[in-house]
Structure 1
Amino acid sequence: MSTGNIASKKSGGTVSNLTLCGTTLLLGAQSVAHAADTLKRDEKKKKTHDPAIHQQGRPLPAHEEIDVVGQWQHRSPKFTAPLLDTPKSVTIISRELLDQTASHTLVDALRNVPGITMGAGEGGNPVGDRPFLRGFDAQSSTFVDGLRDVGAQSRETFNVEAVEVIKGDSGAISGRAGAGGSIVIDSKMPRLKNSLDASLGFGNAGYKRGTLDGNWQFSRTGAFRLNLMGDDENKAGRGPTEFKRYGVAPSVSLGLGTPDRVTLMYYHMQNDDLPDVGIPYDNPTFNARTDGAPRLMTAGNGAPVKVPFDTWYGLVNRDSDQDSIDMGTLRLEHDFNSHLHIRNTTRYSETSQNDLWTMPDDSQGNIYYGYVYRRLNSRVSTFDTAINQTDFYGTVSLLGFRNQFSTGMEFTREQGKNDTDTAYVNGVNVASGTNFTHCATALAFTSHTCTTLSNPNPNDMWTGDIRRTGNPNSTRMDTKAVYLTDTVTFMPQLLGNFGVRLDNVQSTYRAQAGEYGRGDNLFTYQGGLVYKPARNGSIYASYATSAIPPGNSVGQGADDISLGADRTGNIGSVLKPERDRTIEVGTKWNVLHDRVTLTGALFQIDTTNFKIATASGGISNGGSKRTRGGEVGVSGHITRDWSMTAGYSYLDARLVQAGGSGAAAGLMNGRRAPNTPENSLALWNTYDITPGFKVGSGVYYMGKVYGADSPTAPKYVPGYWRFDIMASYRFLKHYTLQLNIQNLTNKRYFTQAYVTHYALQAAGRTAFVTLNAHF
């Protein structure tokens, strides 16, 4: 599916974007239909050397083709064909769609892609973005401008040009991980023009947000761009939850429009939040009390408990999330000619987290007596990445066939250091005994470590103290990789897409218990055939693989088992990498004079060497998983005034061999995989009522999502429908006033289902007005 249609600006001196396989062509104020007709008339073979492209960066090589509807904005040269001829499911979330839907975070943006869910955090699994693609954790498969960005964080979109979701195994393109796909974030970069965009918004729930995007051309080939953001908002209906963040992103480019270019970018984002803490499940597991307290609830079915919408179990005087990221990037580019290019990118980044937040723990059955244990979750971490990547790409003729190729190498060092904090009351470790965890003593309530299920007070003055646990650990991953991708034109109607990659990864885990290390050589590959029955359509079949080594998330997530020793002495150094493969068939068509793209795909993903617990409590590679599904999509201008971006996804993800220790061995075999909805849908429409007045509406559906599909103790969040609306009015040529109402019906629904303990509730109805200025 391709999401993110072309902007159709008919007046007001605005600019429309047509994307040319990674380069943006700026056109004047004209409709997409007229632009497409003009391009087809002027270039019968859809090739161009328009000088406007020089203003965006390198000249457009002769082999690159205009992809009018697809908005193929991928900055990575590893993709060697236009979107229409790429044998993968790819969704593009354009800047225009981000603005229309007021998607200010990555979580907001990914709502526009069906089949994606967000996983919840805990102590060892940090709070932050944890997307699941086709049922697979993709936290470690997130990239910024083509470079892996593993550090745990909650990402913003103020400096984002587009978000690309590449589905299916992508090991040959991105390296380790990538079973369900990858998420690629493209940053805003300098251009040879002068422009200024600013916005200021206010709304309910204390919503206040301002952004600035300025681009200044200071020489014939040089430009400077600056993006700023400040945001302060509550979460509608969710008690005292508050999110405060600010960001700054300057960048400068030299040599634009010439064969030699240099770009230097810096990004800083910082947040200071009072996090939402979620709602406990009505845990089917019941532990009877012996103190004579009356039982108030019967055993539930694993859904979140039914409490008032604004019930919040945290502690204002204890909870906080303080995270930051700093990222510096240097990119060097050279064009040997219009057919051959080289690019080198160097980056150093550091993310940090200092988080304290309350989990409404349901594990001891307190909820059946009307109590909740306010369990402290914490994380104190730093994570740094140093990476250098070189890409050599272009077009050559080999054995009489046209080859659009990309080859390169990558050297990466990733290192994370983690510790936690511990809660004490009267000098006693709260988590060390049953007095607090079972809400069994008066001190548990007078210290406000425990509270009531139905009427918690977020302003309770917790009387304990926080101490650094002092049990740090660190994980390091060193990667050396070489890769090659190639699109071969066997004949105008038949193309082949091939890719291979070899990664050498070395992992080291250090803790007080000892040091463990391992090394792996990961060979991944992909192959696909594309048949073009017509110029505007393609039918494809592909096969792709990926590999996930132990320690893959470098201590930043939960998509691996630690390299440290488990309770039986088995260590990660004896485990094998997880292996995945995707078989996919699909079709893509540009219709209605290339204004609309239609897509469809069927796929199967098989996972082997899945890491599971054994019956004796150890860890082995005996697990397997299978995901089967399909998706369809439509994106583009249905008429001159009506545009649509829509997609539907069906997923059947099963744990074939799920392991389990003791009596739980084999219990989950054949059950649904967590964080995978069977059905999901995303639809966004806009309609131009007049040249200056636009309205929009969004419909989002997500089926039931399991945290754990256990037959004895299930944990899940129910399915939901959500509706959004938008209206914008342009006036005085340079100004636009935009109204967004999200969750129009004030629907209570849940966005994250953790495997145990709690689910995260979404915001209620949120309305805000934004004044935008463009010069």
Structure 2
Amino acid sequence: MAASFDSTRRVESAHLCTALGLALASYSATSLAETSGSSETKATSILELDATNVKGTHQADTFKVDEMSSPKFTAPLREVPKSITIINETLIKERGATSLTDVLRTTPGITLGAGEGGTPLGDRPFIRGFEASTDIMIDGVRDLGRISHEAFNVESVEIVKGPGSAYSGRGSTGGSINLVSKAAKAEDFIAGSVTLGTDQLRRNTLDINQYLPEEDLALRLNAMKHEADTPGRDDVEVKRWGIAPTITWGLQGPTRVTAGYYHLQTDDIPDQGHPISLIHNKPVDVDRDNFYGLVDRDFRKTSADLATLMVEHDFTQELTLRNTLRGGRTMQNYVMSRPVFANVEQEQNGLVGRGFRPRNVVNTSVINQTDLFGTFHTGDIKHRYSAGLELSRETITEKDKHAGNNGRPGDLYDPNPHDGGWTLLPGTGQVTGKYQTEVKSLYAFDTLTLHEQWDLNLGLRYDDYQVKNRVAGGGESSSELWNYQLGIVFKPLPNGSIYLSYGTSSNPSGENTQSGGADGAGAGNLNGNKADLDPEKSRSLELGTKWDVFNQQLSLTAAVFRTEKTNARVSDPVTGLVVLDGDQRVTGIELGATGRITDAWAVWAGYTYLDAEVVKAGGDGSNDGNRSKFIAPNSFSLWTSYDIDDRWRVGGGANYMDQRYMNDANTVSIDDYWRYDAMVAYKVSKNLDLQLNVLNLTDETIYDASHVGLFATVAPGRSAELTANFKF
């Protein structure tokens, strides 16, 4: 064991030295950055308005973003009457995040859930107490596939909090997540990165942009390859690669045409972490690196293909028409082991079962969005508006899955990932479920400037929603959804706002057909009598304030809110049928700070408190008043970096996640935790910089999530990675 450990350390050290060697090989004495000297912002009034702030521009190397990417948000971020968190590319890179899970893991107010078979593996965030796995968008278009999203082609992650069906359609009870893709620009550059680190980490990215001014044509190509073991977990490997070309014609003209393609492919060993003790109702006390899967049997393969065509035309400076057409296909096929105790005796005997969980599903979608947006006046009132039409057809095709048995139980304290005794038979591939969702939507938004200090924000959306399982005897459901957003904004000073807003959301049956039986009556599938039920409806009231201070370099936000769903799906205690008689309520506080305190000191921080209560749980009423499962009452995140001089930058962060219950009865829980990260960066030249990240500094054992309190997934342990970033 000692020899093997030393050998591994030597290999990891060699990888780090290789990364340093590659970086230094690129060094050129003639390309040293000229010393410019950083100067602190002078102590002018923190409420001073920066008149040079121009829409669509961002300060270099700052975490602060001033505008949303979607035209549905008809005011600057500071004047939008809603809590919105944006994690831009600068912050993503500084923190060493490579996936959406990495980003969300360090975002307050968001917790993670797990999948298994019926509820699939993939990104499963909970925002403000409600699941948002079906509320993930890419460039404002719903992404139906339940996959693990990568960060190599992401410009920023926009998280809109609170019920928002007026913006995104069905769902979004707790909020929605939008991934903004990298776009072609009117400049030339070749950029990328080489990352080597502990746990066999090898990651390469490439970002090339070329602009042809005579043709007014820009081309951009992003690519990525990633291979690694999972820090602190034996035998858990991840492999993925992706490519995303984009071409835009007419960047400088009134008509712009953009065509883009995105492909991501993964091949991983799935990992369901540790079993929950039936004796202590917490994850079992075993070594963190214990892996209970079967590496000779288990696999997880996914792919995602998205093709997008966007045409945009400026009729005038005050009127723009945009049409976005997207076709998408995602695939997920896996077999995994679920570590669960069959009974107390099995746990006492030091054994654990390996549940067989397969899935084979293909998701396809065709979505067209047409947006008309701009400004006009009616008398003295200025209108900043957006109106649109959306047509979509989304299909989830479930296929006959692999079959087999689990073999013998594993050793709880010394599991052997090469245990035998199991069998595996390929599925036939025949269609077992084909859920087709068709939606026709109309929406309109308007920010009315009633006075230089008063804005009225209005939003309305109508959805004609239909879903059907197109196999023999499959269920179907249809609904007409009306949702709206109303907000009043008061601007006591030019750089600050105080707002009060009210918003709604709708959760129709069949909204989440990728939800298994273990999710219970509240699952958004078509099982049982759910197809005959009306949509669940939620509403939220929020009072907040937003201020840009320190010469508008730093954004400060605060909000108090309440979201309530008074007709949640629950089981009737007499008939056993699902009825709309539940009550779920979330009351909370959210605080945030984003931007720069001085020219050299950047910060991104947030705190969220959630009192998530299941007021009426249905059934026999024994769970009435319990805390919502998976939701942490308190969560906190801080990342800050400081430019020591023109070459050196240091950074560090801390994250806190409160205790979470893993089941409705509030008997199974995972403990709270603190996680600390650190970063140091060195600018070698104007073309090259080096960045060293150490993640989970204290090597804390962190349990990210669970499905229904049977197992707990394990977050990565301590790791170090050295990245050479280049740009020419």
Structure 1 contact 315–462 (Cα < 8 Å) conserved: no
Match of 2:117 among 99, 123, 131: 123
Note the alpha carbon deviations across 1:217-273, whole angstroms, 9 max, x for none: 123311000000000011111110000000000000000011000000000000000
Structure 1 window deviating more from structure 2 (608-617 vs 618-627): it is 608-617
Structure 1 contact 380–420 (Cα < 8 Å) conserved: yes
Structure 1 window deviating more from structure 2 (381-390 vs 502-511): it is 502-511
Note the alpha carbon deviations across 1:523-562, whole angstroms, 9 max, x for none: 0001000101101111000000000101102436869646
Q: CA deviation at 1:422?
A: 5.1
Matched, 1:625 2:584: yes
Helix, strand or coil at the partner of 2:289: coil
Note the alpha carbon deviations across 1:199-223, whole angstroms, 9 max, x for none: 1011111110000011001233110
Q: How far apart, CA to CA, are the structure 2 residues paired with 1:32 and 1:267? A: 42
Matched, 1:699 2:659: no
What residue in structure 1 maps to residue 624 of structure 2?
Answer: 669
Structure 1 window deviating more from structure 2 (364-373 vs 385-394): it is 364-373
> Where do 1:398-477 residues align within 5 Å?
398-419=378-399, 421=401, 423-425=403-405, 448-468=407-427, 472-477=432-437
Cα distance change of structure 1 residues 480 and 32 upon mapping to structure 2, 3 Å threshold: farther
Helix, strand or coil at the partner of 2:491: strand
Q: How far apart, CA to CA, are the structure 1 residues paired with 2:117 and 2:423? A: 19
Helix, strand or coil at the partner of 1:417: strand
Match of 1:479 among 439, 451, 458: 439
Structure 2 contact 443–459 (Cα < 8 Å) conserved: yes
Structure 1 window deviating more from structure 2 (150-159 vs 613-622): it is 613-622
Q: CA deviation at 1:420?
A: 5.0
Cα distance change of structure 1 residues 29 and 511 upon mapping to structure 2, 3 Å threshold: farther
Matched, 1:491 2:486: no
Q: In structure 2, give the amino acid aligned to 1:740.
A: N
Structure 1 window deviating more from structure 2 (548-557 vs 251-260): it is 548-557
Q: CA deviation at 1:184?
A: 0.7
Q: CA deviation at 1:563?
A: 5.1
Q: How far apart, CA to CA, are the structure 2 residues paired with 1:164 and 1:728? A: 26
Q: In structure 2, give the amino acid aligned to 1:597.
A: S
Q: CA deviation at 1:414?
A: 0.5
> Where do 1:754-765 residues align within 5 Å?
754-765=707-718
Matched, 1:317 2:317: no
Matched, 1:596 2:554: yes
What residue in structure 1 maps to residue 359 of structure 2?
Answer: 379
Q: How far apart, CA to CA, are the structure 1 residues paired with 2:63 and 2:117? A: 43
Matched, 1:86 2:80: yes
Q: CA deviation at 1:457?
A: 0.4
> Where do 1:173-322 residues align within 5 Å?
173-220=167-214, 221-283=216-278, 299-300=279-280, 302-322=281-301
Query: Any gaps of 5 or more consecutive residues in structure 2?
Result: 1-30
Note the alpha carbon deviations across 1:268-316, whole angstroms, 9 max, x for none: 0000001222111112xxxxxxxxxxxxxxx21x210101111110001
Cα distance change of structure 1 residues 462 and 322 upon mapping to structure 2, 3 Å threshold: farther
Q: In structure 2, give the amino acid aligned to 1:648.
A: Y
What residue in structure 1 maps to residue 141 of structure 2?
Answer: 147
Q: How far apart, CA to CA, are the structure 2 residues paired with 1:647 and 1:753? A: 24
Structure 2 contact 402–425 (Cα < 8 Å) conserved: yes
Q: In structure 1, give the amino acid aligned to 2:338.
A: M
Structure 2 contact 67–76 (Cα < 8 Å) conserved: no
Q: CA deviation at 1:81?
A: 0.2
Cα distance change of structure 1 residues 576 and 400 upon mapping to structure 2, 3 Å threshold: same
What residue in structure 1 maps to residue 534 of structure 2?
Answer: 576
Q: CA deviation at 1:641?
A: 1.2
What residue in structure 1 maps to residue 23 of structure 2?
Answer: none
Structure 1 contact 608–624 (Cα < 8 Å) conserved: yes
Structure 1 contact 547–578 (Cα < 8 Å) conserved: yes
Q: In structure 1, give the amino acid aligned to 2:250.
A: G
Q: In structure 1, give the amino acid aligned to 2:681.
A: S
What residue in structure 2 maps to residue 110 of structure 1?
Answer: 104
Q: In structure 2, give the amino acid aligned to 1:690.
A: D
Cα distance change of structure 1 residues 264 and 471 upon mapping to structure 2, 3 Å threshold: closer
Structure 1 contact 378–420 (Cα < 8 Å) conserved: no
Cα distance change of structure 1 residues 749 and 42 upon mapping to structure 2, 3 Å threshold: closer
Q: In structure 2, give the amino acid aligned to 1:257.
A: Q
Q: CA deviation at 1:423?
A: 3.9
Q: CA RMSD in A?
A: 2.5
> Where do 1:718-737 residues align within 5 Å?
718-737=671-690
Q: CA deviation at 1:450?
A: 1.2
Match of 1:635 among 568, 576, 594: 594
Structure 2 contact 692–721 (Cα < 8 Å) conserved: yes
Q: In structure 1, give the amino acid aligned to 2:719.
A: T
Structure 1 contact 70–83 (Cα < 8 Å) conserved: no
Q: CA deviation at 1:32?
A: 10
Q: CA deviation at 1:65?
A: 14
Structure 1 contact 317–459 (Cα < 8 Å) conserved: yes
Cα distance change of structure 1 residues 511 and 281 upon mapping to structure 2, 3 Å threshold: farther
Q: In structure 2, give the amino acid aligned to 1:610.
A: A
Q: In structure 1, give the amino acid aligned to 2:255.
A: D
Q: Percent identity?
A: 38
Q: How far apart, CA to CA, are the structure 2 residues paired with 1:195 and 1:329? A: 23
Structure 1 contact 536–594 (Cα < 8 Å) conserved: yes
Q: How far apart, CA to CA, are the structure 1 residues paired with 2:196 and 2:480? A: 52
Q: CA deviation at 1:31?
A: 7.9
Structure 1 contact 212–229 (Cα < 8 Å) conserved: yes
Q: CA deviation at 1:13?
A: 10
Q: How far apart, CA to CA, are the structure 2 residues paired with 1:47 and 1:396? A: 20
Q: In structure 1, give the amino acid aligned to 2:200.
A: G
Q: How far apart, CA to CA, are the structure 2 residues paired with 1:71 and 1:33? A: 19
Q: CA deviation at 1:707?
A: 1.3
Structure 1 contact 280–360 (Cα < 8 Å) conserved: yes
Cα distance change of structure 1 residues 69 and 762 upon mapping to structure 2, 3 Å threshold: closer
Structure 2 contact 63–88 (Cα < 8 Å) conserved: no
Matched, 1:346 2:325: yes
Structure 1 contact 65–82 (Cα < 8 Å) conserved: no
Structure 1 window deviating more from structure 2 (361-370 vs 150-159): it is 361-370
Helix, strand or coil at the partner of 2:317: coil
Q: CA deviation at 1:756?
A: 3.0
Matched, 1:522 2:522: no
Q: How far apart, CA to CA, are the structure 1 residues paired with 2:69 and 2:677? A: 31
Query: Any gaps of 5 or more consecutive residues in structure 1?
Result: 1-11, 15-27, 57-63, 284-298, 431-447
Q: How far apart, CA to CA, are the structure 2 residues paired with 1:337 and 1:29? A: 43
Q: CA deviation at 1:473?
A: 1.1
Structure 1 window deviating more from structure 2 (553-562 vs 608-617): it is 553-562
Matched, 1:614 2:593: no
Structure 1 contact 74–186 (Cα < 8 Å) conserved: no
Structure 1 contact 313–458 (Cα < 8 Å) conserved: yes
Q: How far apart, CA to CA, are the structure 2 residues paired with 1:158 and 1:73? A: 22
TM-score, normalised by the number of residues in structure 2: 0.90
Matched, 1:328 2:307: yes
Note the alpha carbon deviations across 1:716-770, whole angstroms, 9 max, x for none: 2110000000001011321111100000011111111222310001111010101
Q: CA deviation at 1:595?
A: 1.4
Structure 1 contact 73–162 (Cα < 8 Å) conserved: no
